[in-house]
Amino acid sequence: MSSVPAFALTGVVKRYPGFTLGPLDLTLDPGTVVGFVGPNGSGKTTTLNCIAGLVVPEAGSVDVFGHPADHRAPAWKADIGVVGEAHGFYQGWTANENLRFLSGFHRGWSDQRVKRLADRLGLPLDKKVEQLSKGHLAKLAIVAALGHGPRLLLLDEPTAGLDPVVRAEVLDVLWEVLEDGEHAIFYSTHVLSDISRLADELVFLREGRVLLRSAKDDLTERWRRISFRLAVSDVTVASAVEYRRVRAEHQVVTDDGEATLAHLRELGAEAIEQSRMTIDEIAVAILKGGNHVAAP
Amino acid sequence: MWRLLREGVRFYRPVLLTSWGFGAGIFFLVLALIAVVGSVRDLNAMARAGVQLPLAILVASVVAGFIAIGTERSENRVRMHLMLPVPINQVAVARVLLPTALMILGLVASHVLFALLLAIEGSPVLSPRHGNVDFIGMQLLFWVQVGLAVREVIELRHRVSWQGALGSKALLVTAVAVMAVIQLGPWQSAVLRAAGAAALAVLVMTFTVVLFRRRNVFTK
């Protein structure tokens, strides 16, 4: 495996009125799948656009497979495939004409790969883009992004707005194609279940800053919801991210189940019950940012 | 760059041909209405009016140029083109050359029509008008390019202060003022005026390319 990261963001800052992204330091190793999670307006799309070169940061640097993301020397773009809601296809052309247009610019373009993907996705290549449904448009974006065999795939909520059937279909094919482990994938989404199958790591972003980067398995292993009884009105629990008390029963969400359990035993807590959390629940807890709530 | 331009022209070819069709159709409709209800009833006068047909084609080409600019923007083309392994300079130049190419095609079609009308009419009075086509064409090209340049100045205004964009605004206003001088000035030579308008159009194109390269957001 190459030691050069698929991309490296170093001290990246991008300012908009009322919002600043960064400073952001982020790398992605080749062959890894990272989920990029954050609420609306947290800077996910801006980050992806910085990597794709569609947004030029005010400070910091962006490198793709060791090459600076410089529009004057655009060879690095051959290594990137981008799927987002905005695409730029020629609406009056058919899907096939658009793909033929793209093929003229990419040396690594494979008509065979495109045909295989289009067949697998059931993409009507002879239909004009303006006549394609949202689902078909998403499929075309995926085929177009993979046509030249990029080593880095940037996916910006590629299933947003799709009905559950099409979403599952698109994800199935996406993962089928990507399971070869040759692609580095940076997948921005709200819907963690979309990426929980293949993501190696998750990066949580809020208000333009990375809150947490962690291996997915590590998160599901460490995070716990624990309830217990303790004859005190309020209690500070080690590693608690959320705390709630309903009469004599206390509930905590913790990012270190073992440490919290040990601490509760020391405090003399009784009727301790713990449960694992889903990745969606963990994400919500992380992004909410450690609310400490005591109910009467 | 040439591939981008060629594909762009291919995409807008139906738009250009349709515009020409509408231009010619409206022209003949007006001519027919004048012939039926107006005062110009003799055939010679009608034939003289007929030399305006190439100008209708020229105007139709400008309309196609503006449609191309609007469509490229609404379909987010910059986003797609900048994801291609093509240097930004080439994307920027292809962007300004696309409406120019449609305009040039219109100019060529106008010249061909003029030549045909001359061959049919054989009237020397048509010749001076023939020379004017280039001047009119270059003026129209200038205005199409101003449309693109204004877009870039607006983008610039989004990323710098009002004062910061003042220089660019002043440059654009100066270009428009110079064009007014070329249009209204005392020069008799249509060729010289056409050359002046063309030079100004090229200046505005260069200005647009420079501003595009300096953008830091290419998502729209």
Q: What is the pLDDT of residues A164-192, one digit of tens each?
A: 888 888 888 777 777 777 789 999 987 77
The confidence score (pLDDT) of residue B50 equals 64
Cis peptide before A23 (omega within 30 of 0): yes
Residue B121 confidence (pLDDT) above 50: yes
Q: What is the ipTM of this complex?
A: 0.82
- pLDDT reported for residue A287: 83
pLDDT value of residue A140:
93
Note down the domain range covering A281. Answer: 219-288
Contact yes or no for B58/B132 (Cβ under 8 A):
no
Confidence (pTM): 0.83
Interstrand relation of A201-206 and A33-37 (parallel, antiparallel or unpaired): parallel
Dist CA B215 CA B218 (whole Å) = 7
Q: How far is Cα B165 from Cα B155, in angstroms, rounded to an integer?
A: 10
B3 lies within 8 A of chain A by CB: yes
Closest partner CB to A77 (pick from B3, B85, B216): B85
> Under an 8 A CB cutoff, do B216 and A56 touch?
yes
Same structural domain for residues A162 and A267?
no
More confident residue, B56 or A144: A144
Query: Alpha-carbon dihedral of residues A149, B93, B72, B199, nearest 10 degrees?
Result: -170
pLDDT above 70 coverage of chain A, percent: 96
Is position A51 within any domain? yes
Residues A253 and A122 grouped into a single domain? no
Surface of B (50-109) touching A: CB under 8 A: 71, 75-89
Q: Tell me: pLDDT of A233 over 80.
A: no
More confident residue, A127 or A265: A127
To the nearest whole Å, the CA of A66 is away from the closest chain B CA by 16
- The H or E element spanning position A7 is strand A7-16
Indicate if the pLDDT at residue B152 is higher than 70.
Answer: yes
Q: How far is the CA of A11 from the CAs of A4, A80, A142, A177, B203, in angstroms?
A: 18, 21, 30, 33, 38
Partners of B197 in beta bridges: none
B95: nearest Cα among B21, B13, B8 = B8
Indicate the Cα dihedral angle A274, A278, A282, A283, nearest 10°.
Answer: -170
Mean pLDDT of A75-99: 91
Does A31 share its domain with A171? Answer: yes
Contact between A245 and A295 under an 8 Å Cβ cutoff? The reply is yes
What is the model's pLDDT at position A294? 34
- Alpha helical stretches, state H, A150-205: 164-178
Residue B22, token pair as written in the block: 């509408």
Residue of A nearest to B76 (CA): A88
Whether residue A72 and residue B85 make contact (CB cut-off 8 A), yes or no, is no
For residue A81, give the chain B residue with the closest CA.
Answer: B83
Enumerate the residues of chain A whose CB falls inside 8 A of the CB of residue B79: 54, 86-88
- Total count of domains within chain A: 2
- Contact with chain B for residue A19, Cβ under 8 A: no
> Is the pLDDT assigned to residue B131 strictly greater than 90?
no
Rounded Cα distance, B177 and A273, in Å: 80
Q: CA nearest B215 in A: which residue? A: A56
Backbone angles phi, psi at A161, to 5 degrees: 80, 5
Report how many Cβ contacts below 8 Å link chain A to chain B: 73
B7 in contact with chain A, both atoms CB, cutoff 8 A: yes
Cβ contact B80–A87 (<8 Å) = yes
- DSSP-derived secondary structure for B58-76: HHHHHHHHHHHHHHHHHTT
Check pLDDT > 80 for residue B39: no
**pLDDT of B124:** 47
Closest alpha carbon to A25 in A38, A35, A42, A12: A12
Counting residues of chain B whose pLDDT is more than 90, the rounded percentage is 43
Identify the CA nearest to A186 among candidates A155, A224, A227: A155
Predicted pLDDT at A292: 36
Residues A281 and A168 placed together within one structural domain of the fold:
no
- For the record, the structure tokens of A26 come out as 């982020």
B-chain residues near A102 (CB < 8 A): 84
Give the one of B14, B83, B88 whose C-beta lies nearest to A52's C-beta: B83
Residue type, B190: A
B17 — pLDDT class (breaks 50, 70, 90): very high
Average the pLDDT over each of A269-273, B17-21, B38-42, B71-75 and give the range with the smallest value.
B38-42
Residue A43: what are its φ and ψ, rounded to 5°? Answer: 110, 15
Is the model's pLDDT at B96 over the cut of 90? yes
Residue A169 and residue A233 in one domain: no
- What is the CATH classification number for the domain harbouring A226? 3.30.70
Tell me if chain A has a CB within 8 Å of the CB of B214.
Answer: no
Query: pLDDT-based confidence at A291, cuts 50/70/90?
Result: very low
The verdict on a CB contact (< 8 Å) between B75 and A90 is: yes
User: A238 pLDDT exceeds 80?
Assistant: no
A82 plus A196 within the same structural domain: yes
- Per DSSP, the three-state class of A236 is coil
Report the alpha-carbon distance of residue B206 to residue B217 in Å, rounded.
19
Say whether residue A260 is in contact with chain B using an 8 A CB cutoff.
Answer: no
Q: Span B26-38, mean pLDDT?
A: 77
- SS3 helix, strand, coil % of chain A, rounded to 5? 35, 30, 35
Q: Mean of the pLDDT values across residues A244-252?
A: 82
Looking up residue A89, the CATH number of its domain turns out to be 3.40.50.300
Instruction: Quote the minimal CA–CA distance from A75 to chain B in Å.
Output: 6
How far is it, in rounded angstroms, from Cα A23 to Cα A37? Answer: 17
pLDDT in tens, A200-223: 899 999 889 998 898 888 888 888
Which residues in chain A have their CB less than 8 angstroms from residue B88's CB?
71-72, 74
Query: What are the boundaries of each domain within chain B?
Result: 2-213
Judging contacts by C-beta atoms under 8 Å, the chain A residues touching residue B157 are: none
Q: What is the mean pLDDT of residues A194-205?
A: 84
Q: Is the pLDDT of residue A154 over 70?
A: yes
Q: Per the domain annotation, does A166 fall within a domain?
A: yes
Are A261 and A133 contained in the same domain? no
Say whether A102 sits in a helix, a strand or coil. helix
Set of chain B residues whose Cβ sits within 8 Å of the Cβ of A94:
none
Residue A99 confidence class, pLDDT cut points 50, 70, 90: very high
| B81/A88 Cβ within 8 A | yes
Do the bridges between strand A33-37 and strand A59-64 make them parallel or antiparallel, or are there none, so unpaired?
unpaired
pLDDT over 60 at B203, yes or no: yes
Indicate yes or no: CB of B79 within 8 angstroms of CB of A90: no
pLDDT value at position A281?
84
Quick one: A227 and A190 in the same domain?
Answer: no
Q: Which tens digits make up the pLDDT trace of A10-37? A: 999 999 888 999 799 999 998 888 999 9
Contact B85 A106 (CB under 8 A): yes
Are A194 and A229 within one domain? no
